[in-house]
Chains A and B, each alone.
Chain A
Amino acid sequence: MTQVTIAQLYPAELGVTGDRGNVRAIERRLAARGVETTTVLVAPGERLPDALDVLVIGNGPLSALRGVHADLTARKDRLDAFVSDGGVLFSVGGSAELLGERLDAPDGESLDGIGVLPYRVARVSARRVGYIIVDTPDGPVVGFEDHASEWTLIDAASAYGTVRDGHGSFTRGEGRGEFVRVGNAFSSNVQGPVLPLNPALTDVLVDAVAERRGLTLSPARASDLDEYADAARTKILMRPTRDKGFKTIQV
């Protein structure tokens, strides 16, 4: 039986937004297409598996970003090699910020990113909260955004999606953009978690794994997961005032 290895990096430090949901979605989607998986949780100081297929990194507070910063920096060469080799990387929120070139925090402090992905990030004062719909070459992606993170793309061609509704993380043409893709490395500020809600996006990752490993996937077996994801997506896509009704008290 074929085995695909998934790693979640810093699950304790960067996992405050249900990030293990993204791991589960990849596991379940691969299983539905006939592939067995192994998932490894990797803490600071621990080794990433040598034969790595998918790396997931999640979201956390600024203090946690400072906490993992040195450890992540030490992994730069490995991650560069992994991405240029077509490995699948999926990063959301705080970790996505550190994968860029630099993160400017609000108090004038700045953190060097590890530059695996081509953007710079500035924390802004206005929080962006609400449902988001992003049009991508692989179809619409829905989720929830809750961040104060403005990205400036160094390579405009790395933009993967255009915001149809919501705020997004960067300027794209006349409008707003969300999701960066370089090879099979994806990063964004979309929570939800986003992969359970978007099986089509999960399939993009799964297909990328299969191509890199030369695996033949069977057609996806239908499950309750698809039915619930479909209904949840429909609800978000049809919601007339996606941005209204959230009690955001400014402090």
Chain B
Amino acid sequence: MMAAAPQARSAGPRYIVPVLAGKLARFATRLRGGGSAFPGYLTNRMAPTLLPTLADQFRYGVIFVLGSNGKTTTTHMVSEVLRAHGLKVFTNPTGANLPQGVTSALLADASLTGRIKADVAVLEIDEGYAADLADRLSPSVILSLNVQVDQLFRFFETERVADMMLDASTRASGHVVVNRDDPYLSKIDVDAMKAPVSFFGIAEDIVAASAHGLSNAADTRSGTAGTTPRDAFAEVREVSGRDIVVNVGGADARITLPARGLHYAADAAAALTVAARVLGDEFDTDRAAAGFATMAPAYGRGEVIPLRGNPAGEQVEFVMFKNAPSLQMNLDALDGTPERALIAIDDGTPDVSWLYDVDFAPLPRVDVVTGEKAHQLALALAYAGVEIGTVEPDMEKAVQLMRSFPETAAGRQVWFVNYELMMIGRRILGREEQETRR
């Protein structure tokens, strides 16, 4: 952790050497095909005040997006809604949510004298580093999406993740935005915040009608497992497939989500809350809806790619999951039983014990089970009563199998994949580019 947070100084010539060194290091690591952490590290060492200085230049401030699930999607949503209002948005590449990655991304956009030309920064931030980064980037808004049972190998306990988000939130200067439907987050100590707190949520009847609710972690700490009742500033009032209605501060926004699922509806309500709070009187529900309309699905989150390279032929819908809550929410959002399905997990998901906590009823049959952990996955599916076609640990061969089947009536297969196999699956289908822009 940082001893004392460095203070922002005005941009200028003092930053030429460190920025140049960082940019050169960035160029060099790119040539080698390496990661993006080192340039950020180098620049931070040479000019610790650069990061606060960059952050200080965003007219509408810096927005942090935190949460166990949905950071990438929501960061994209906030960015697009703000863009639809005419703002120039800086955002970090997906997954570059650790301090060095954020620094590197800012560095790439900065001029040599440390000037950055954007109105607002929307940053997906890893919970573990949120407080530390908040000390350096002074965010105006901190959004916390949800606390779910995830990454126990990293955080030990789910409640610790909640505390990291709530602790970071005390540092927001303008607004704190949290999920009313999350047991831990709904219990936020409003008085401990510098900034006013806005809640977002989904109307009770909609949550009640969903097979497994919202899959947020139960509060095992306070003695009240559920949520504390809160009024939502933005509330999802209607859901019909991808089309939803969100009431934002009294006005209805009619939105089309990039993919089906109650979790995406919650992300949208979160994004609208943030946008409305950042823009104030400038916020407009029609513009917000336009922002959603231009939004392509993020990689693997409802993304559709041709199965055999033919854009007019059969398609693959990618459904990415990373843990029990995200898989459950995606299964619950299925538009009927998939005619053909593939499911895949590799060692990018270290522990798969949680598979036994998922209700696979919406997926009675899977054609191909693949990935390094294919047999562990098949075992869990068999225990859940899912009928299995073939277990083929090799993803390339699994794709060949999926291509060998007769075309589905709907012209679409559904592939359930963890992050790593989503990227590999996309590549096999001919999508080479890395997931970075949004």
Contacts and interface: CB of A to CB of B under 8 A. Distances in A.
Interface of A: 12-13, 15-21, 24-25, 28, 60-64, 67, 127, 129-130, 144, 146, 148, 191-193, 196-197, 224-225, 228-229, 231-232, 235, 245-249, 251
Contact of A192 (B149, B158, B353): B353
A67 B225 CA distance: 11
B322 interface: no
A247 B129 CA distance: 16
Contacts of B393: 235
Nearest to A190: B353
A228 B375 CA distance: 5
Contacts of A245: 347
A24 B98 contact: no
B379 A225 contact: yes
Contacts of A18: 352-357, 380
A67 B223 CA distance: 8
B336 interface: no
Given A63-B221, A144-B350, A235-B375, A21 B382 contact: no
Interface string B138-166: 00000000000100111111110000000
Contact of A20 (B153, B155, B357): B357
Given A61-B158, A251-B155, A17 B354 contact: yes
Contacts of B372: 235
A15 B383 contact: no
B376 interface: yes
B388 A224 contact: yes
Interface string B335-359: 0000000000001101111111100
B248 interface: no
Contacts of A19: 356
B153 A232 contact: no
B46 interface: no
Contacts of B383: 21, 24-25, 28, 196, 225
Interface in B366-398: 372-373, 375-376, 378-380, 382-383, 388, 391, 393
Contacts of B149: 16
10 residue pairs, one from A and one from B, having the closest CB atoms: A18-B356, A21-B356, A251-B128, A18-B353, A232-B375, A63-B221, A231-B375, A64-B220, A61-B157, A228-B379
Contacts of B8: none
A193 B356 contact: yes
A60 B217 CA distance: 12
B325 to A, nearest CB: 12
Contacts of B388: 224
Contacts of B118: none
A160 B205 CA distance: 51
A232 B156 contact: no
Interface in B300-336: none
B98 A249 contact: yes
A163 B153 CA distance: 20
B218 interface: yes
Nearest to B219: A63
A189 to B, nearest CB: 12
Contacts of B157: 61-63
Given A16-B149, A16-B152, A249-B98, A63 B159 contact: yes
A246 B153 contact: yes
Given A196-B380, A235-B375, A249-B98, A144 B347 contact: no
Contacts of A191: 351, 353
15 contacts: A12-B218, A13-B220, A18-B355, A18-B357, A67-B223, A127-B154, A129-B153, A129-B350, A146-B153, A148-B156, A197-B376, A224-B388, A228-B391, A231-B378, A232-B376
B378 A127 contact: no
A62 to B, nearest CB: 6
B96 to A, nearest CB: 14
Nearest to A246: B350
A161 B378 CA distance: 27
A161 B376 CA distance: 23
A180 to B, nearest CB: 20
Contacts of B382: 224-225, 228
A144 B380 CA distance: 15
Given A12-B218, A28-B383, A129-B153, 16 more contacts: A17-B152, A21-B353, A25-B383, A61-B157, A61-B158, A61-B220, A63-B157, A63-B220, A129-B350, A144-B352, A192-B353, A229-B379, A232-B379, A246-B350, A248-B153, A251-B128
Contacts of B379: 196-197, 225, 228-229, 232
A17 B151 CA distance: 11
